[in-house]
Structure 1
Amino acid sequence: MPSPIVDAMVQTLTEQVFNALVNQAQFSLEFSGQFKQMKTGLDLTKALLADTENLNHKNETVRAGLSILKEVIYKADDVLTDCLVRDEYMKDASWAVYLLHDPFFSHRTGKKLRDINRHMKEVEKTLGRFLKAPDSIYADESYHVRGIMSQDWNPTDTIGLDDDVEKIKGWMFDTTKPLHRIGIVGMGGLGKTTISQKIFHDVKVLAHFDKMIWVCVSQSFSAERIMRSILERLEENVSGFGLTQILSKIQGGLKGKRCLIVMDDVWSHTEVDWWTNLCSVLPKQNSCIIITTRNEDAAISMGVESSQIHRPNTLNDDESWSLFSKFAFSSSSGICPDDQFENLGKELLKKCGGLPLAIKTIGSLLASKINSPSQWRDILESFHALTTERQASSVMASLRLSYDELLPFLKQCMLCFSIYREDFEISAYQLIHWWVGEGLVQGKGSKTAVEVGYEYLAELISRCLVEIVEQRGFDGRVYKCKIHDMVREMIIMIAEEEEFCSFNEQSRQKLTANSRWLSFIDEMDEKSLKYCPKLRAMLLISSRPFEFDRISGFLRSLRMLDLSNCAVDETGVKDLFNWISSLKRLASLNLSGIQALKEVPSSIHKLLNLQLLILNGCSHLEKIHPSITNLKKLIILDLVGCPILYLPQGLGRLSYLQELSGFKVASQHRKQCFQLLEIKDLIHLRVLRMHISDVAVIADNELDVLSQLKMLKVLAIDAEDCREKDVFGMLDKLTPPPSLQELYLKCYQRETLPGWVNPKQLSRLKYLCIENSDLVNLSSGHPAWKVEGLCLKYLMKLDLQWKDLEKDMPALRYMEISHCYKLKDFPCSVIESEIWRKNQD
């Protein structure tokens, strides 16, 4: 199959060049001949790449040609980015003068475009000798990504593991041993982690143990990381502690308690001192350690007796078919439509060897082809070839087939997971921001790039290539995710084939001159980054201070930089901004959680291509320089958790802004600050999270500004710092946006909802969340709501009957309740945090 990197980039670049020519951008007029030549070349290249029959048997010449093509595409993308940024800012007279100070831009760009087109023509000639373009190279291309699967149909239900769980629980509850050590041993994809998870969430197990801790060990473990992880699970602060202090803290946190510790995915065990020390501080009152591993010797060396090792069996034929049906026939609730599909499915299962991961993956792949027996036969033949020719195990073969079936854009997104270490829990928010920043995900129609990114992630999850760690109960939106270690092995191999990442024998990423994406870890040296000029994305996963002064002036092609929770002092922050101010192509910058960041300096205005600026959790950030209002391409600004009193005046000029979080409403009497009145100019805003305090003043001419945000879908109002009744009176007079789908009210200290919170004015509202309020009555006195999801937390005065809520919200299918003591006859607990779903009633 064609290289997913080349295929996706060619298509994206073609669209951008085409749009520039159609819209007659200034730079496309200036370099009209070169861009038209580039468009023609890209169309022909895309057509050649469609010759999958010959690409599947590509020789060394074709491989070399594709490698050169990738380099040409990346260079073209750099030039196009520079031109697009310049064109955007040239529309503004004040910026035009600044940009015209570079009189050699046209000369340099023209030369680069000529070189790119020359190289592209040479590559086309090379590929054209082996590949054949179809008769028409302008065929319409479309794609479809499935949405998140229904919450009513949960494909993660386990099959055939009940006996395994009961056997291990019997060992755990044996009172004759003070400290149980249990091993679950088997090959990858057999379900060791799934069994452990089922035990970990078992009702009897939860009732038996006082403390429960899950630790992902993985191949590249460190004793310090594991013990810090245990301490974090005990909700203890781990910063600044050495191993001896950590052990002491663990001992104190577990003293006198029965605890369960799961050490998941242990590969080897050669260092015994740290393990001996850890076990010595664990309580001995019927506590238990469960170790999952592929290596039986590792379990034994960690003190597990042979009699306490469980070896899961593969699934039998009936269990395999049941699990396969859940995934392959998910659209019909697991029921096979006819004998033809059953026969084909059972032939495939013979190749899976009863391994759950292989069965789930191949089933998920076939689910999208439920109307095509011929496509099922094609998959069966491919699967047979891979396993018969010993190219891969049944698990790896199923994973590779599932990957190969992905659309090029999804393949590119999937490969991003390769730079995360084993068992790393990845923030979906940060991952999608990376995809958007680098241009791997584009907005489609009325959907923003972020919304499309969540759809892409949902599709990867539905294919069983990505696992959900944490998600929102209402609609399944993913908060955290990770990948199975065998999936990681596969995409590491593909990433190296594509020459965009390199890894050592321990599957740790290593730096090379051709690296495009990088996860920077403790063992790496900042100086080595000077020799990685092609880097486009860098994620810092390091606990030690990063020396930014050592890379000043380098990494000019970076599109995404994630330095969240970076350990840096005030001097380091200054060096950081000195460096990033030279990154003219940077599109996504995440500085969240950097405690030494007190001010965003004026140099931020130099990041002309910046589209996402994430500063949430910077608990000492008090000021942002007004020059931020010049970042015309900004689409996301996140300031949640920052103690900034007000934002600079002029943010209304950021007309592309789609998400604004952490905005604090100020009085119109305060000069030089961003006013609520300016909000009306942010016509593309989809998400607004605002804070109200006692000093806030909402003037009469500001009461209808929200109603002018025709695209706003999410509104969150936090009045935690507000006690003044007059301010709440102002909130009551607001006019809501007509398209609102989600509303969050926090610390709203009134007995009734604002007058505008009613089904008539919020006719599209799907989700309503109210927290920490004096609310007494929820009834609106209007026609029934269309709300499907409801969250009520810490509403001590709310007096409400379940039958009345059912009447007011007949479409309600999901509800989250916590500490609402006066609710009556509800189908779930109203005291402790609990979730209700309609199908459970």
Structure 2
Amino acid sequence: MSYLVEYLIEKLGDQVFSALVEETKFALDFRSELDSMKTQIEIMKAFLSDTENLKSKTETLKTTLVKIRDLFYEADNIITDCLLRDKYRQDGFCAKYSPQELVFKIETGQKLKDINSRLKKTEEILRAYLTPQYPSIQGDVTYQVSGFTSQEFDPSEIIGLKNDIEEIKGWISSNDEVLHRVGIVGMGGLGKTTIAQKIFNEVSIQFEKKIWVSVSQNFNEESIMRSMLEQFGQDSSGSDKGQMLSKIHRVLKDQTCLIVMDDVWSMNLDWWKKLFSAPPKSTDRRSCIIITTRNEEMAASMGVQNSKIHRPKVLNENESWSLFRLFAFSASKGDCPNSEFEKVGRDIVSKCGGLPLAIKTIAALLASKIHSVGEWKKINENFHELTRENYSSITSVTASLQLSYDQLPSHLKLCLLCFSIYPEDFDVRADQLVRWWVGEGLVHDKNTKTATELGFEYLSELVSRCLVDVVQRRGYDGTVYSCKMHDLVRDMTIKVAEDEAFCSFDGKGKQRFTVDSRWLGFSSDMDPKLWKKNSKLRALLLVSSNQVPLNKNLEFLKSLRALDFSYNKLDTVEVEKLWGWISSLKRLGYLNLSGVAGLKEVPSSIQKLRNLQLLVLTECNNLIRVHQSITNLKRLVVLDLGSCRHQFLPRGLERLSNLRELSGFRLASQANTQSCKLLELEKLVQLRVLRINVNSESEISENEYEVLSHLKNLLVFSIDAEDCKDKKIFEMLDRLSPSPRLQELYLRRYRHEVMPEWFNPEQLSTLQYLCIENGDLANIKMNPEFEVGSYSAWNIEGLCLKFLPNLKEDWKNLELNMPQLRYVEVSRCFNLKNFPCSVDKPAVWRKNKY
């Protein structure tokens, strides 16, 4: 909930606060109520910080926290409505002193008074609940460490891990490092500790000293050093931290050591570097540190190279069954009694998703019910419900995964819970997910980074913490394109999302829509009539490609911030109805109707969505017209009409001063007086991404060629020439002047034999990635006139060449001209010479393992 508190405090900052007061200064008690709300939220922030430290919460506290969130959302609605009202008034849509305005202001003041009264009551409940517990909340929690003994290791647990173990043993036995640093990274229950235990037992000959430190979640250097010294056989009594550090250094200098740091969550990196700063006396003596962690970034920060990070995989079907048999049929040494037990058992194993911890815990539970196949069937039918409820040892799986959630910073917790609305094994589009986060306000601009950029960083962090699995990513920089969640991690998020009252689920893990739901992943088997009973919903996303039967229910969703009906099979009539309902959602921040075949135009009613920040209409093949009123949406940061058939965007886009991403901007004829011209974009100084389309009718006037050079923040630029072969078009494109900070360049359907004249390392000195797809290029040489004068090497690191049958480049020349290249993707470039991979099929070349 901390994210919401920060968000409201930010919205109530001095500038916005003054605007709100000015907007409603004639409302009774408004100023004092607004001051009171600001104070109450600040107080609540401190209390909420304390509740996050509690490992368990009573039902009273849970209920109170849900009520607090409801109040915060109500406050957010009021603030948003006031700001929108102010924008309407500034644009002349409502008079400042009209009777309607006075009514609005008085009602707003009354709503604030009611919220403040309820905030005060909940504060009293929290104060009464937390005050007696302050000593335990504020007290120091020490680091728990313990030595490991080989007796704790069960050889039967290494099923499916043999290759993992051999790979790491190979790293340890190599002579390329004096101090090997190895990371074993993966989600909870994947077998990281089991792998480390096996290695710990099998490499005794190589090391003179072996120590195992089991690390808990709260860091304490002194406890770790005492544990290390005890296992080294050294006396640590009476020593301070400096003395203990010196003793450890002496051991590491004189003896070869294997040190396992198991289950690392956080680390004081300055202390960690000092701990292993003493080199051995002889370079022939090699030691090793093995770090197991759920956070890949943690392993990297502790000095583990990417090539020495091992990521255990889930078990396959046969490995899972073998492990299950050992525990479920332990009395008969793994022999299954009959085919009926095997059938039910295999079905249960499939629901464990290859996670060793889940397989072992469910198998151990079933071992006590080996005489009743009926009991097995009952557990099979209620498997996912049991993993979320307090049912015997199965909860150890969820509890293990819950630890990862508890350790997340507050800004990531809610982002992770968003995955709960997607069905089991659903491939989630990363752009949809991130845009939802931005539209609802879960992610905001910070310093020099946009909310969208931060959103993708947050997603990558969830991946690095092994809570989200990548389905597809861009090879060049690892940007996630699509992802999914392990079933048991999803079960954990479902449990938390229900506790936090964001959504509700049945016993099968399928979402139920209730009057209190905040998020809904809507599928075709749900009844949209239920929508009218909900006034709290903030996100409605379609998770089924089937057509949704629409009726006048959207008008009840007044709190909606994110609406994604992309790729829904709606006809034109349904779309016209949809626009009528959408226009009433004045708080909407994100709207996605991508791929909706029935969408033919963006109507004038779009202007009612003054809070809209992201409008995404990609691949709407029948979209031919965008109404000029779209230029009234001054909060827009993303306008994406890529792969649409519209002839032009309307004049006035220069008014969208907050725009960061513009896709599908079509260069029209100068004679078209209704179209937006390239010159207007000069005022969009915050643009980070610009994707333009050109065809035989496109024109660029004399005063427009320098426009791109004035966009100082432009990082990504794309030209789609739409298979145009008109030479005058390419002559115009040659005269463009690129942004000085451009990092990525895309040329698509570029039917010209040579690159644009401005394509040289001097004008594109910051270019890092180049993508050319489906064109007639014969080479990728820079402007010949530039080559005559001087030579500068490119800084390009990534290169993508696809469907370029005329390309007759020599790979050796490309390497020479682009010495920084580390990633190259090639497809259907049959005349590319000397490429180290086959050009007959899609190929990827990497300089180093990425």
Q: TM-score, normalised by structure 1?
A: 0.70
Q: Give the letter for the 2:644 counterpart.
A: C
Q: CA deviation at 1:832?
A: 2.1
Distance in 2 of aligned mates of 1:440 and 1:824: 49
| Corresponding residue of 1:565 | 567
Residue 48 of structure 1 pairs with residue 47 of structure 2: yes
Q: Distance in 1 between matches of 2:639 and 2:263?
A: 52
1:824 corresponds, among 833, 840, 850, to 833
- Aligned with 1:519: secondary structure? strand
Return the alpha-carbon distance in structure 2 between the equivalents of residues 189 and 398 of structure 1.
6
Q: Residues 774 and 397 (structure 1 numbering): CA distance in 2 closer, same or farther, change over 3 Å?
A: same
2:423 and 2:97 map into 1 onto residues whose CA distance is: 43
Structure 1: runs of 5+ lacking an equivalent: 1-5, 136-157, 166-187, 195-312, 329-336, 350-358, 372-382
Deviation at 1:12, TM superposition (A): 1.4
CA distance in structure 1 between the partners assigned to 2:201 and 2:615 by the alignment: 48
Do the aligned partners of 2:263 and 2:294 also contact (CA within 8 Å) in 1? no
Residue number among 439, 446, 449 corresponding to 2:448 in the alignment: 446
Which digits, 9 at most, give the CA deviation of each residue in 1:241-277, with x for residues without a partner?
Answer: xxxxxxxxxxxxxxxxxxxxxxxxxxxxxxxxxxxxx
Residue number in structure 1 paired with 2:10: 15
Report the 3-state secondary structure (helix = DSSP H, G, I; strand = E; otherwise coil) of the residue aligned with 2:123: helix
SS of 2:478's equivalent?
coil
Q: Which residue of 1 aligns with 2:76?
A: 77
Write the deviation string for residues 132-188 of structure 1: whole angstroms up to 9, x where unpaired. 5999xxxxxxxxxxxxxxxxxxxxxx98365999xxxxxxxxxxxxxxxxxxxxxx9
Is the deviation greater in 565-574 or in 340-349?
340-349
Whether the 8 Å CA contact 2:797–2:821 is kept in 1: the answer is yes
SS of 2:775's equivalent?
A: coil
The corresponding residue for 2:522 is 520
Alignment partner, residue 615 of structure 1: 617
Query: Which one of 730, 733, 744 corresponds to residue 732 of structure 2?
Result: 730
Provide Cα deviations, 1:220-261, integer angstroms capped at 9, x if missing partner.
xxxxxxxxxxxxxxxxxxxxxxxxxxxxxxxxxxxxxxxxxx
Contact persistence 1:663–1:691 (CA under 8 A): yes
Give the alignment partner of residue 317 of structure 1, picking from 183, 197, 206. Answer: 197
**Cα distance in 2, alignment partners of residues 346 and 59 from structure 1:** 32
Kept in 2: contact 1:666–1:675 (CA 8 A) = yes
Q: Give the partner amino acid of 2:820.
A: A
Larger CA deviation: 596-605 vs 83-92: 83-92
Distance 1:346 1:443, change over 3 A: closer
Correspondence for 2:339: none
Q: Deviations over 1:521-577 (max 9, x none)?
A: 222111111112111101123454323224152111100011011122222112111
Aligned in 2, Cα 1:370/1:721: closer, same or farther, shift over 3 Å? closer
Within the alignment, does 1:584 sit opposite 2:591 as a pair? no
Instruction: Supply the AA of the counterpart residue of 1:39.
Output: K
Q: Which residue of structure 2 aligns with residue 694 of structure 1?
A: 696
Counterpart Cα distance in 1 of 2:770 and 2:297: 35
Does the CA contact (< 8 Å) of 1:509 and 1:519 recur in 2?
yes
Partner of 2:510: 508
**Residue matched to 1:718:** 720
Amino acid at match of 2:423: R
3-state SS of paired residue (1:345): strand
- Residues 1:803 and 2:812 aligned together: yes
Task: Describe the SS at the equivalent of 1:755.
Answer: coil
- Alignment-derived partner of residue 272 in structure 1: none
Of 824-833 and 77-86, the range deviating more from structure 2 = 824-833
Cα RMSD for the two superposed structures: 3.5
Change (3 A) 1:750 1:393: same
SS in 2 for 1:104: helix
Q: Give the distance between the partners of 1:94 and 1:578, measured in 2 at CA.
A: 19
**Residue 473, structure 1, aligned to residue 468, structure 2:** no
Distance 1:99 1:620 in 2: 42
- Aligned twin of 2:706: 704
Contact 2:295 2:464 in 1 (8 A): no
> Which whole-Å CA distance do the structure 1 matches of 2:775 and 2:263 have between them?
59
Amino acid at match of 2:560: L
Q: C-alpha separation between the residues in 2 aligned to 1:163 and 1:696?
A: 58
Residue deviations 1:684-727, cap 9 Å, x none? 11111111100001110111111111111110001124111011
Alignment of 1:374-393 (within 5 A): none
Assess, with a 3 A threshold, how the Cα gap between structure 1 residues 25 and 736 changes in structure 2: closer, same or farther: farther
In structure 1, what residue type is equivalent to 2:85? R
**Separation of aligned partners in 2, 1:691 and 1:47:** 51
**Counterpart amino acid of residue 762 in structure 1:** L
Shift of residue 822, structure 1, vs aligned partner: 2.9
Determine the C-alpha separation between the residues in 2 that align with 1:445 and 1:96: 36
Structure 2 residue identity aligned to 1:819:
R
Aligned partners of 2:96 and 2:711: how far apart in 1?
33
Distance 1:342 1:18, change over 3 A: farther
Q: 1:347 to 1:757 in 2, by over 3 A?
A: closer
CA shift for structure 1 position 829? 2.3
The answer for the alignment partner of 1:127 in structure 2 is 126
Corresponding residue for 1:649?
Answer: 651
1:765 aligns to what? 767
Whole-angstrom distance in 2 between the partners of 1:39 and 1:617: 44
Query: What residue in structure 2 maps to residue 833 of structure 1?
Result: 842
Give me the whole-angstrom Cα distance separating, in 1, the residues matched to 2:263 and 2:474: 37
Q: Structure 1: how far apart are the matches of 2:677 and 2:647?
A: 12
- Cross-structure match for 1:252: none
Distance 1:32 1:161, change over 3 A: farther
1:771 positional shift: 2.0
Matched residues in 2 for 1:360 and 1:396: separation?
Answer: 19
CA distance in 1, matches of 2:436, 2:164: 43
1:362–1:399: 8 Å Cα contact kept in structure 2?
no
Determine the C-alpha separation between the residues in 2 that align with 1:790 and 1:422: 36
TM normalised by structure 2 equals 0.70
Paired with 1:342 and 1:577, the residues of 2 have a C-alpha distance of: 65
547-556 or 486-495, which deviates more: 547-556
**Aligned AA (2:424):** E
Which residue number in structure 1 is paired with residue 104 of structure 2? 105
Instruction: Tell me: CA distance 1:9–1:645, structure 2 relative to 1, closer, same or farther (3 Å).
Output: same
SS of 1:50's equivalent?
Answer: helix
Is contact 2:721–2:750 with CA below 8 Å preserved after alignment? yes
2: distance between equivalents of 1:396 and 1:347?
17
Letter of the 1:575 counterpart: K
- Counterpart position of 1:630: 632
Aligned to 1:175: none
Counterpart Cα distance in 1 of 2:394 and 2:758: 60
Moved more, 752-761 or 505-514: 752-761
Which deviates more, 759-768 or 565-574? 565-574
Aligned to 1:240: none
C-alpha deviation, 1:190, in angstroms: 8.0
Helix, strand or coil at the partner of 2:742 = coil
Letter matched to residue 9 of structure 2: T
Decide which structure has the larger Cα Rg and report it. Answer: 2
Letter in 1 for 2:802: K
CA distance in 1 between partners of 2:777 and 2:627 (Å) = 39
Aligned partner of 1:679 in structure 2 is 681
SS at match of 2:551: helix
Question: Which residue does 1:117 correspond to in 2?
Answer: 116
Counterpart AA for 1:160: L
What SS does the aligned partner of 1:835 have? strand
**Bigger mean CA deviation after superposition, 809-818 or 339-348:** 339-348
Q: Which moved more, 1:603-612 or 1:745-754?
A: 745-754
Identify the residue that residue 184 of structure 1 maps to in structure 2.
none
Q: CA deviation at 1:417?
A: 0.3
Matching of residue 539 in structure 1 with residue 534 in structure 2 = no
Written as runs of structure 1 = structure 2, the 5 A alignment for 1:325-364 is 340=228, 345-346=261-262, 362=294, 364=296
Cα deviation digits, residues 340-399 of structure 1 (max 9, x gap):
5976635899xxxxxxxxx9764659648859xxxxxxxxxxx9xxx9996765543331
Identity %, equivalent residues:
47
Q: 1:544 to 1:833 in 2, by over 3 A?
A: closer
* Cα distance, 1:663 vs structure 2: 1.1
Check 1:453–1:758 CA distance in 2 against 1; reply closer, same or farther (3 A cut): same
The AA in structure 2 aligned to 1:422 is: E
- Range moving further from structure 2, 618-627 or 820-829: 820-829
Q: Given that residues 262 and 293 in structure 2 are in contact (C-alpha distance below 8 angstroms), is that contact kept between their aligned partners in structure 1?
A: no
For 2:555, the equivalent position in structure 1 comes to 553
